[in-house]
Amino acid sequence: MSEMIERQNIRIGIITAPPQYAQDIAEAMIASGVLGIWNFSSGKINVPDNIIVEDVDLSISLSVLTTKLNSIEN
Q: How many residues are there in the chain?
A: 74
User: Which domains does the chain show, CATH number per domain?
Assistant: 2-73 (3.40.50.720)
Using DSSP, state whether 12 is helix, strand or coil: strand
How far is it, in rounded angstroms, from Cα 66 to Cα 70? 6
Which pTM does this prediction carry? 0.80
How far is it, in rounded angstroms, from Cα 1 to Cα 67? 39
CA–CA distances in Å: residue 29 to residues 11, 35, 54, 65, 74: 9, 8, 15, 31, 46
pLDDT tens string 14-56: 999 999 999 999 999 999 999 999 999 988 999 999 999 999 9
